[in-house]
Structure 1
Amino acid sequence: MSGLCGWIGYGGADDQIQPIIERMTMPLIRFDGSPAQSLIGNRVALALAASNRYAHTYRKEGLFVGLWGYAKFSNTSVELNRLVGREGIAKVIADQWPLKREAVLADLSGEFVCCILNDHLQEAVLAVDRMGTRPLYYQQSQQVLLFGSSADSIVMHPFGVSEVDPQGLYSYVFFHMIPGPDTIYLGQKRLLPGEYLIYRNGRIEVKKYWQVQFKEKEKRPFAELKEEFLALLHSSIRETVEGQKVGTFLSGGTDSSTIAGILSQVSGQPAKTYSIGFEAAGYDEMGYARIAAQHFATQHHEYYVTPEDVVAAIPQIASIFDQPFGNASAIPAFYCAQMAKADGLDKLLGGDGGDELFGGNERYAKQYIFSFYEKLPLVLREKFITPLTLKVPANIVPGIIRKMRSYVEQATVPMPERMETYNLLIRYHPENVFTGEFLASIDAAYPLTLLRKIYYQTHADSLVNRMLASDWKFTLADNDLPKVIKACELAGMNVAFPLLNSEMVDFSAHLEPQLKLKGTKLRYFFKEALRGFLPDEIIAKKKHGFGLPVGIWLQQHKTLQAQAADSLNDLRSRKIVRPDFIDKLLGQHLHEHPSYHGTMVWLLMMMEYWYKQRVSC
């Protein structure tokens, strides 16, 4: 929760500077009221808002260091970790940076944002952890570097820019969030996982201090891998607990069930688990959560989210995110966190990351099947199979031929574009969704350009590892982690992700690709290593999670319908979305296929709610 903010290159009298840093701090503490402290120099300022456990600062002779979150040095750096225990991690970083520079960052693990400011040299260093669990935004304006873990903090500075970037809005509708390094504001950027920024002499350099190195040919006995994996699960969760009152989300999937079981073992008492259900066919997974809760004898808590809950939560969810965010499962995560807060807990554990480390998403198996086509001789594909198959009209052929045509049609699309075959915006066609005026202001090809850039910068030979590394950025850092963190912040609850422990990430990177995806078997190693520990029903179930039945409720619930209609009607005046598309979406599409078209209604509704709370009409 909370965060840090500040600047370098801007000075003035104390009575002028203090109110500015306090304004920048306000977005960080507005929901949880965390204590805030500020450090001010001649032309630097740093504010950190968090409880003592997550706020680490050091100041000496023009040097300012702040670390938000928790971090440690690698297990091989025994002496440094001893120093951390005696002097605090902020001071150790301050002492080590002049000697080792970015090697200090590469030796850190945990979930953190770090800032080093040198008032004398007018140098700044900003960094986020390896998996980007916590965000850090920055903007350069008039030789001043502004930064903050919330985009709203930067906007509060006199030099902060609050002009909305149309490209960010387009990316939002394409991805359902705004992927880094971009943001909703012009000129404002965000550090990517494992990145650090150096600012000196008025210039910004952004570099990687860590990047995954897959060891795809490293073979080890299964029994040895299993032993190490189970030991890592225990040590990661034990380290995360740290004497606090801790519980865990429980969806009934393999990740949350595993954490619930290990948490019970580590704490020596039944884990406190929290689950959300829905009174909607095909969405309620409470049965699996109960199987896990019973199997591990947890202290289980349940809540069934209703359409009325969604109506009440929408303005709050929109307000907690500092840019448009369209993942509707933030709402069930919020109600889960509320239960934990009411139960007196300090922290919740999230199972996020297991699918992306060990190969658990359905699209991995799907793309594996499509990859067979690429292995056919090029001449055979280009001269015969592709042209002959695609000549067949899709709407008049028998089922088996239609499936073959669909397969070839998708298989001929190169990766990573192929993963966006069913992208909602692409299916609608951007020119049918956005106004001509808006489209003239953006680059419609940019989202796919960004996808390709991230996908091909990964040094991996296997398809599954390239997809995993891409998902670490787009699925985790840009989507799932902000969803859970912000939902918990709204409820006043801390959250941690033990499966994203640095040692666990390294372990995953050294697994053979076929242990992650064995043919089309998802998470092969993970499931086999936990067979006998997890209930068989959990191992066999398909992934679901806390998906919200938005479309169904939009079709059935009058108040939610009216809320959506009012929002989309207000959105018309912004000249972003075509009025005829809004009419068709609400008047026809939603009734034809509520679960599919309801997603677009939700995206546009959350965009408008963000506008209402952030930008004057």
Structure 2
Amino acid sequence: MVALLSRFDRAPVQLLLADGCAVAVAQAGGVHHIYRHDGLLVALWGHPRIEGCTEQEDDQGVAQRLALLWRARGPQACQALSGSFALAILDSTAGEALLAVDRAGSLPLHHVRQGPALYFASSPEALLAQSEVHAVIEPQALYSYLFFHMVPAPASIYRGWQRLLPGQYLHCRDGNVCIGSYWALRFQEHQSDSFASRQQSFLRLLRQAVERSLGNDPAPCGVFLSGGTDSTTIAAMVRQASGQPARSYSIGFDAPGYDEMAYARLAARHVGSVHHEYYVTPGDVLAAIPAMAAAFDQPFGNASAVAAYYCARMASEDGVTRMLGGDGGDELFGGNTRYAHQALLSLYERVPALLRQGCIEPLLFQQRFCRGFAGPWRLFAKARRYIELATTPLPRRLESHNLLLHHGPRTVLDPAFLASIDPDGALASLSGAWWQRPERQPGQLSQINALLALDMRFTLADNDLPKVRQACELAGVEAAFPMLDDELMAFAACLSPRDKLHGRQLRPFFKRALLGVLPPAIVRKQKHGFGLPFGLWLTQHAPLRAFAFDSLSALRRRGIVRADFIEMLQGPLLREHPAYHGTMVWILMMLEQWLQAHPAPMAGTVRTVDVSGTIDGNISGAGSATAATESQVRLGATA
């Protein structure tokens, strides 16, 4: 297991043995947070901080101080930690083990019970290196992937396996396992400080967060630069924090409506960065698909991971060892366009019920208006669609454009597979996260903060962070996220709702506070990102299309997706709307590629297919800790 820790970055491995236990950490930069004393082993992967001790103090400083707190506070010792980390404390004398991840969930940790034993790892592939651990693909997790384009935590693609949520710990003692939270985001929605005071605090915290992300590693750091507000802000703060121009890296696409290189160049000129750019081609996508499918721990369908990979690879070839991303800014300060859209839909709730139910809805939904709309009647169609969405409760209406719901599970899924899963399970997991959101005291949480809290878990921890982290690991560099600095997250949670969404204006405080930092054109621009023109390229690039359709042909033999739906998808559906249905082709293609690279039996009635494939994924950590009387333990991690 240890031999796999440095597959991509060749980071040095530190190994300790004591009392039948073993701990290993592989970390770039030469700092290993491990500690051993009287049967107690402490290991942290990442860049943790703890009050009264700096990361650079010595290799044992953070881990040693945490060991003292563990003996005094037990699992709540995690509250003293900040920064990015995955943690394992193994106490053989007390028969206890503690696992935890940081507050943003920037680093993963998987765990599984097999009989009396508890096994854990920061990568499933490391767990699979243990012969005692069995992996059976969970059909319900496959359905979640098709629904969300990823598998949301705490679930895993494998039956019986789970992952820790942000700010969560697992405590094992005398064979009993308890999972709890040592931290949760708390919103304070009434802001009394002046704008000038808040701006000063924000800029100071932002600069400190970038300084921490840069660290003291002599190797150069790079910045993902899309030309959006977050990446441009990070690039500007790198110069302020280091006194040196940032090394910025951007990806472009030679496709109408997808290329934002002009904004990236504008941002680079404004902040004075040393700029690098690369245009991704359909051939690049074709070359990257198998490696990326193999590198991800679970099926993952965010196509922008390809752009992140080529951006990170360009930086790696330039000698960069760590890439700073602006991920988290949207979820902290209100930057996603759906926040304004949901606020607009919620206005309908303010219309008196008598007027809504007695006049507006009977008029728009009477039978003669349901037969189709043309010409001036299209206004009625738009009004009807608005009311249909506005009367759909949150969080379900967030999935109004969901591909699986649009076509219907019975149209898309094989009947035998459909019989083995709960079609309502995906929405149930979304609703569960929505209603378990943190509340402010006293009173109910505002809609914007409720949406931000949900996105911190679903959009960020389960989608954006794994996308960037795994793409960087595949390229041999480390990812860092300054926006997710703990103090900056706490600051954002104390901003008023109007600071995050004012009418339909997104992130008003953030943009106003950075007027002297960001160029006006970038402050005004619409959000875009690294969207991949995959659907368009499917219609233009024959080799990419052939590869995708071959993958779908292999998938149809697995008994997951209906063969007739795949035929429709490859034909009229893709021709009708290449961008929309191209996404479904990508989702299914990446599922097949992942299944080929990670062969495992499937539970239930789903058929298995004998297809060739290789595993080429990065192993970021592994370990096993037995509960009850046995104390054989291993842990490993790498950046």
State if a TM-score over 0.5 links the two structures: yes
2: CA distance, partners of 1:333 / 1:54: 26
Question: Do 1:432 and 1:578's aligned partners in 2 also have CA atoms closer than 8 Å?
Answer: yes
Partner of 1:599: 583
Post-superposition offset of 1:449: 1.1
**Aligned partners of 1:80, 1:101: CA distance in 2, in Å?**
19
2-side partners of 1:270 and 1:378: how far apart? 58
Among residues 572, 580, 592, which one is paired with 1:608 in the alignment?
592
SS in 2 for 1:32: coil
Q: Is the 8 A contact 1:41 1:119 kept in 2?
A: no
Q: Are 1:370 and 2:345 counterparts? A: yes
* Residue from 105, 118, 122 that aligns with 2:95: 122
The answer to whether 1:62 aligns with 2:39 is yes
Q: Quick one: distance in 2 between partners of 1:382 and 1:301?
A: 57
Query: Residue in 2 aligned with 1:7?
Result: none
Find 1:219's aligned residue among 171, 184, 192: 192
Verify the 8 A CA contact 1:54 1:68 in the aligned structure 2. no
**Mean alpha-carbon deviation: is it higher for 348-357 or for 103-112?**
103-112
Structure 2 matches for 1:335-414, cutoff 5 A? 335-391=310-366, 392-393=369-370, 395-396=372-373, 398-414=377-393
Q: CA deviation at 1:576?
A: 0.6
Equivalent residue number for residue 319 of structure 1: 294
* Structure 1 match to 2:171: 198
Write the letter of the residue equivalent to 1:445.
Answer: D
Matched, 1:486 2:470: yes
> Could you tell me how far 1:51 is from its partner in structure 2?
2.6
* Pair 45,444 (structure 1): closer, same or farther in 2 beyond 3 Å: farther
Deviation at 1:376, TM superposition (A): 2.8
DSSP 3-state at the match of 1:233 = helix
How far apart are the structure 1 equivalents of 2:151 and 2:325? Answer: 22
Shift of 1:230: 0.7
Name the CA distance, whole Å, in 1 between partners of 2:258 and 2:55: 49
Deviation sequence 1:48-85 (CA, Å, 0-9, x none)? 22235453111122111110001112xxx4x3559965
Question: Displacement, 1:101?
Answer: 2.4
Could you tell me whether the CA contact under 8 Å between 2:499 and 2:507 is conserved in 1?
Answer: yes
Of the three residues 263, 267, 275, the one matched with 2:242 is 267
Task: Specify the alignment match of 2:552 in structure 1.
Answer: 568
The one-letter code matched in structure 2 to 1:149 is S
Match of 1:289 among 260, 264, 286: 264
What is residue 456 of structure 1 aligned with on the other side?
Answer: 435
Q: 2:306 aligns with which of 331, 342, 345?
A: 331
Counterpart CA distance in 2 for 1:590 and 1:30 is 38
| 1:170 equivalent among 143, 155, 173 | 143
Q: For the residues of structure 1 that align with 2:108 and 2:85, how far apart are their CA atoms?
A: 9
Residues 385, 444 of structure 1: alpha-carbon distance in 2 compared, 3 angstrom cutoff? same
Question: 2:490 aligned with 1:499, yes or no?
Answer: no
Which letter maps to 2:35? Y
- Secondary structure, aligned partner of 2:41: strand
Query: Closer, same or farther in 2 for the Cα pair 1:438/1:337, shift >3 Å?
Result: same
Output aligned runs, 1:79-98, within 5 Å.
Answer: 79-80=52-53, 87-98=60-71
How far has the Cα of 1:380 moved from its partner?
A: 4.0
Residue identity matched to 2:178: E
Q: What's the CA shift for 1:44?
A: 4.2
Deviation at 1:259, TM superposition (A): 0.7
AA at the equivalent of 1:59? R
Distance in 2, matches of 1:83 and 1:314, equals: 38
Aligned to 1:31: 8
C-alpha spacing 1:511/1:109, structure 2 compared with 1 (3 Å)? same
Cα distance in 1 for partners of 2:176, 2:7 equals 33
Conserved 8 A contact 1:125-1:198: yes
1:547 equivalent in alignment to 2:531: yes
In the TM superposition, what whole-angstrom CA distance separates every residue of 1:124-159 from its partner, at most 9, and x where no partner exists?
Answer: 100000000001000011111100000111122122
TM-score (norm 1): 0.93
Distance change in 2, residues 1:191/1:394 (3 Å): farther
How far residue 395 of structure 1 moved from its aligned partner, in angstroms, is: 2.2
- One-letter code aligned to 1:268: G
Confirm or deny: 8 A CA contact 1:389 1:408 kept in the other structure. Answer: no
Asked if the contact 1:176–1:327 (Cα under 8 Å) also holds between the matched residues in 2, the reply is yes
Does the aligned pair in 1 maintain the 2:168–2:182 contact within 8 Å? Answer: yes
The structural deviation recorded for 1:27 is 4.7
Give TM-score, length-normalised by structure 2. Answer: 0.90
Provide the rounded CA distance (Å) in 2 between the counterparts of 1:353 and 1:125.
27
Contact 1:83 1:92 in 2 (8 A): no
Task: Tell me, in whole angstroms, the C-alpha distance in 2 between the residues paired with 1:394 and 1:67.
Answer: 62
Higher helix share: 1
Q: CA deviation at 1:588?
A: 1.6
* SS of structure 2 residue aligned to 1:101: helix
1:99 alignment partner in structure 2? 72
Paired residues, number:
590
Shift of 1:107: 2.1
Alignment CA distance shift 1:419-1:213 (3 Å) = same
Q: Provide Cα deviations, 1:330-349, integer angstroms capped at 9, x if missing partner.
A: 11111111111111112110
**Counterpart amino acid of residue 288 in structure 1:** Y
Is contact 1:356–1:471 with CA below 8 Å preserved after alignment?
yes
Q: 1:36 is aligned with what amino acid?
A: V
Task: Give unmatched runs, 5+ long, in structure 1.
Answer: 1-21
| Conservation of the 8 A alpha-carbon contact between 1:552 and 1:594 | yes
**C-alpha displacement of 1:35:** 2.8
Aligned residue for 1:29, secondary structure, equals coil
Partner AA of 2:542 in structure 1: K
| 1:557 corresponds to 2:541 | yes
1:430 pairs with 2:409:
yes
Q: Which amino acid aligns with 2:12?
A: P
The one-character-per-residue Cα deviations of 1:224-268 (angstroms, maximum 9, x if unpaired) are: 111111111111111211233111010000000011111112221
Measured in 1, the distance between the counterparts of 2:92 and 2:398 equals 47
Aligned residue number for residue 442 of structure 1? 421
* Contact residue 205 and residue 487 of structure 2 kept, 8 A: yes
CA contact (8 A) 1:275 1:336 kept: yes
Whether contact under 8 Å (2:14, 2:32) holds in the other structure is no
Instruction: Say whether the 8 Å CA contact 1:129–1:194 is kept in structure 2.
Output: yes
Q: Distance in 1 between matches of 2:172 and 2:489?
A: 29
Show CA shifts across 1:567-601 (max 9, x none). 00011111111111111101221111110000000
**In structure 2, how many angstroms separate the alpha carbons of the residues matched to 1:83 and 1:599?**
45
CA contact (8 A) 2:55 2:61 kept: no
Once the two structures are TM-superposed, the CA of residue 162 in structure 1 deviates from its matched residue by: 1.1
Question: Contact 1:54 / 1:69 at 8 angstroms: preserved in 2?
Answer: no
Cα distance change on mapping 1:83 and 1:246 into 2, 3 Å: closer
CA distance in structure 2 between the aligned counterparts of 1:353 and 1:338, rounded to whole angstroms? 22
CA distance in 2, matches of 1:27, 1:183: 21
Aligned-partner Cα distance in 2 for 1:562–1:322: 26
Query: Hey, what's the Cα distance between the residues in 1 that align with 2:56 and 2:497?
Result: 39
Cα displacement (A) at 1:364: 0.1
2:291 maps to amino acid: Q
Alignment of 1:464-479 (within 5 A): 464-479=448-463
Displacement of 1:538 in angstroms is 0.3
Higher relative contact order (CA 8 A, sep 6+): 2
Report if aligned partners of 1:311, 1:560 keep a CA contact under 8 Å in 2: yes
Partner in structure 1 of residue 630 of structure 2: none
Q: Is the 8 Å Cα contact of residues 26 and 153 (structure 1) preserved in structure 2?
A: no
1:387 Cα deviation (Å)? 4.4
Query: Compared with structure 1, are the counterparts of its residues 119 and 102 closer, same or farther at alpha carbon in structure 2 (3 Å cutoff)?
Result: closer
The Cα shift of 1:379 comes to 4.5
How far apart, CA to CA, are the structure 1 residues paired with 2:512 and 2:252? Answer: 28
Q: 1:306 aligns with which of 264, 273, 281?
A: 281
What secondary structure, in the 3-state scheme, does the structure 1 residue paired with 2:136 have?
coil
